[in-house]
Structure 1
Amino acid sequence: MAGPMDFISGLLRRPTPLVGIDIGSSAVKAVELTVASGRRIHATAGMRAVPAGSIVKGEIVDRAAVAEAVRGLLGAADIRGRDVALSLPGGAVIVREVAMPRMSRAELAGSIAWEAERHIPFELCDVNLDYQVVDRAGDTERRPSMVVLLVAAKKSTIAEYAAVVTEAGCVPAVVDVAAFAFQNACALQGGFERGGVAALLNCGASTINVNIVEGGRSVFTREIAAGGNACTEALRRSGIPSFEEAERVKKGLSIRGAGREDAEPVLREATENLLLEVEKTFDFFAASRTAGRIDRILLSGGASQGAGFASAMAGRFDVPLERFDPFRRTQVVGRQIGWRDPADLAAAAGVAAGLALRRTGDR
């Protein structure tokens, strides 16, 4: 995982940084990081909406529309790099921690496929498989062991997302897991300096990614198959005629015939339903570990900007909550025109910022 100095050193070694592109169901986000004079990190960043229905449950339905959104975003935000790092939707990725006897790298390489067959619910011929030794937990002289992180990603989904950026005139250089990209962005901003157990929540339009990190290491991940659109649809069922108007009301803005007071009960119920799923995830994590208490929450994602969402989460879980800003230690030098509130971009760009830390040739 890259820290600030590791990242700066990496940028100085490579002339062309990777552009982080996070393709979500409601918007495309892009971040390009460069080192300026005095070793300051500059970020060129932006986001652009994708047409409704272009991406459904992580599957790209209208490749041309999404590619045009990527192409338009890079041009409007003046992002010049075309070698990119991509993230995959959580439904296309399986992450498992596996305890294995301690062995050499060669022995592990020879046995990992057999181990993966026991833990990955896909045919191995249909996935790209990666692994990393992450811990020596339980390592003793009598029974030396290690913990291996298995990651399997569907080849078909990788091909879909790679085809989109290729059509947009880019070169896909690295594919990452969204939860881990967000974790890298948190590390760059000093998110784990205080130690303890941190829950990283990236709340998007259709999903909430949960990554629980202990001592800077991911120990639990889950994707909740619901997000900010659940609140939007609840508002529409309450009588707001269009998706766009419901989105405005969700953010605390008024429209003709409806205002914040009218929306509050509907939003409160929809938000509580989402937070119940988060609570179930936290409970499952706590039950699976001896020390399963979460010390703080780092909150990101466009859906986290919904009216009352962050305050409701802070009240429900009674742990310190921080809105994550991927640009806290950087200077943002470019933004996509049309997003009035810089906080919206900061909330949405966590994954893209983490992707921009990757380097060509990374596994």
Structure 2
Amino acid sequence: MRFKPSSKALVGVDISSTAVKLVELSRIGTQFQIENYTVEPLRHGAVVERRISDIDEVVSGLGAALDRVRPKTRQAVAMVPSSAAITKRLTLPAGLSDAEIEVRIQLESDKHIPFPFSEVAFDFQRLAHGEGSDGQQEVLLVACRQQDVEQLSAILARAGLVPAVVDVETFAIERAFALLAPLLAPAATADEAVALVDIGASQSVLHVLYGGSLIYSRDNAVGGHQLTETISERYGLTLEAAEMAKREESLPVDYPAQVLTPFIATLAEQITRSLQFYYTAGRPYVVKQMVLVGGSSVVRGLAEHLTKICAMPVTVANPLEEMRCAARVDRQSLASAAPSLLGACGLAMRAPA
């Protein structure tokens, strides 16, 4: 089954382990405008390790988000995680039509896709314009399990949305990173890369981008929920109360030294270890800047600590900083939520001019 294309404006829906994040963008000329956004918490356990385990809870959360912001369009795009998708560059004869490429992929699927073709949702894109000197062309193949696409489409539909596109996390990140690139320091040399660290609730992911393309990703099992659990255990709070106290910074005086600092050290150690794995893999591009995104990237002191131990500039991203806002959008509240909206923003950016 081919992924379904779209030619209409879209609402980006990012389903994470802790929340449903929704962003609606419009275009004014060549610029995006933020029409709506919201973050709706999910019950703990509804999404585990990027897999949806409680569909009803996710549908309920998405419905609540839609009731709050009432987007202008019902056309929506969601995404499968990068770990659930396969992307490969194929070299094929330049004269093949799209229909012939599709047949070729199906006939040779066992070379590229590790599960039966009857279970596959896929799409492809020609990467080169025209015919190469050797009569070949490069085609990017993207595939995942059809059941993942169907599950996301069903969730969108049950919440009252029209499932227009199912994207892949990698491409949403690349799209949104284009908003961050102008805010970064210019590369001093041609081999400089940028680390984008997505710090979520249950895990953190180090992405390395070069020239706007994602070239490396590595997960680790440290995220903001570990800090919440430590707060809960140390101060005898429920997880819900601990999460609220963490966000409001309404904790005892020993919290910075006894809880926050050790957590930051552990998280920083995992991030630097992921960077070491990147270099061990023989990548030629040197990481000179780091950008933090995700709901837990705003932990007080984290960016400063990473700046010291990684010896490079580290900033917390606001992918929406340069965008116009509709009158209904509170810019101050948006700035607080923005680091967690990278994925939803990248999805909404699929909307055409």
Short-chain TM bin: 0.7 to 0.9
User: For structure 1, which segment, 126-135 or 197-206, has the greater mean C-alpha deviation from structure 2 after superposition?
Assistant: 126-135
Structure 1 residue 294 displacement after superposition: 0.7
1:7-39: per-residue Cα shift (whole Å, max 9, x none)?
Answer: xxxxxxx7x521111111111111111234x76
One-letter amino acid matched to 2:172: A
Rounded to whole Å, the distance in 2 between the matches of 1:274 and 1:75 is 36
**SS of alignment partner, residue 238 of structure 1:** helix
Quick check: 1:71–1:168 contact (8 Å CA) kept in 2?
yes
What is residue 4 of structure 2 aligned with on the other side? none
What is residue 280 of structure 1 aligned with on the other side? 273
Across the aligned residues of Structure 1 and Structure 2, the Cα RMSD in angstroms comes to: 3.5
**Match for 2:325 among 299, 322, 332?**
332
Distance 1:268 1:152, change over 3 A: farther
Q: Unpaired segments of 5 or more residues in structure 1?
A: 1-13
Distance 1:205 1:149, change over 3 A: farther
One-letter amino acid matched to 2:169: A
Structure 1 residue 154 displacement after superposition: 2.5
Say if 2:159 is the partner of 1:168.
yes
**SS of alignment partner, residue 302 of structure 1:** coil
One-letter amino acid matched to 2:51: E
Rounded to whole Å, the distance in 2 between the matches of 1:72 and 1:298 is 31
**SS of alignment partner, residue 304 of structure 1:** coil
Quick check: 1:41–1:331 contact (8 Å CA) kept in 2?
yes
Structure 1 residue 254 displacement after superposition: 1.5
One-letter amino acid matched to 2:307: A
Structure 1 residue 190 displacement after superposition: 4.0
Distance 1:116 1:343, change over 3 A: farther
**Match for 2:202 among 203, 206, 222?**
206
Quick check: 1:128–1:152 contact (8 Å CA) kept in 2?
yes
Structure 1 residue 170 displacement after superposition: 0.2
What is residue 179 of structure 2 aligned with on the other side? 188
**Match for 1:247 among 223, 243, 246?**
243
Rounded to whole Å, the distance in 1 between the matches of 2:93 and 2:261 is 52
Distance 1:123 1:238, change over 3 A: farther
User: For structure 1, which segment, 319-328 or 117-126, has the greater mean C-alpha deviation from structure 2 after superposition?
Assistant: 117-126
One-letter amino acid matched to 2:173: F
So what's the TM-score if we normalise by structure 1? Answer: 0.78
1:77-136: per-residue Cα shift (whole Å, max 9, x none)?
Answer: 2322110011223442344x55x6564263865554577645554444433234446589
Quick check: 2:91–2:139 contact (8 Å CA) kept in 1?
no
What is residue 296 of structure 2 aligned with on the other side? 303
Say if 2:68 is the partner of 1:67.
no
What is residue 213 of structure 2 aligned with on the other side? 217
One-letter amino acid matched to 1:156: Q
What is residue 39 of structure 2 aligned with on the other side? 47
One-letter amino acid matched to 1:161: L
1:161-191: per-residue Cα shift (whole Å, max 9, x none)?
Answer: 2211111100111111223212211213544
Structure 1 residue 192 displacement after superposition: 8.4
Rounded to whole Å, the distance in 1 between the matches of 2:113 and 2:220 is 19
Quick check: 1:73–1:336 contact (8 Å CA) kept in 2?
no
**SS of alignment partner, residue 303 of structure 1:** coil
Quick check: 1:21–1:31 contact (8 Å CA) kept in 2?
yes
Quick check: 2:210–2:285 contact (8 Å CA) kept in 1?
no
Quick check: 1:45–1:332 contact (8 Å CA) kept in 2?
no
What is residue 151 of structure 1 aligned with on the other side? 142
Distance 1:134 1:252, change over 3 A: farther
Q: Aligned pair count?
A: 336
Distance 1:47 1:144, change over 3 A: same
One-letter amino acid matched to 2:268: L
What is residue 27 of structure 1 aligned with on the other side? 19
Distance 1:263 1:154, change over 3 A: farther
Structure 1 residue 348 displacement after superposition: 1.1
One-letter amino acid matched to 2:224: G
1:279-322: per-residue Cα shift (whole Å, max 9, x none)?
Answer: 23322222333523112122211010223222232223222222
Q: Give percent identity, aligned residues only.
A: 27
Quick check: 2:177–2:212 contact (8 Å CA) kept in 1?
no
User: For structure 1, which segment, 172-181 or 312-321, has the greater mean C-alpha deviation from structure 2 after superposition?
Assistant: 312-321
So what's the TM-score if we normalise by structure 2? Answer: 0.80
Q: Unpaired segments of 5 or more residues in structure 2?
A: 1-6
Quick check: 1:46–1:334 contact (8 Å CA) kept in 2?
no
One-letter amino acid matched to 2:68: A
Rounded to whole Å, the distance in 1 between the matches of 2:107 and 2:86 is 16
Quick check: 1:275–1:313 contact (8 Å CA) kept in 2?
yes
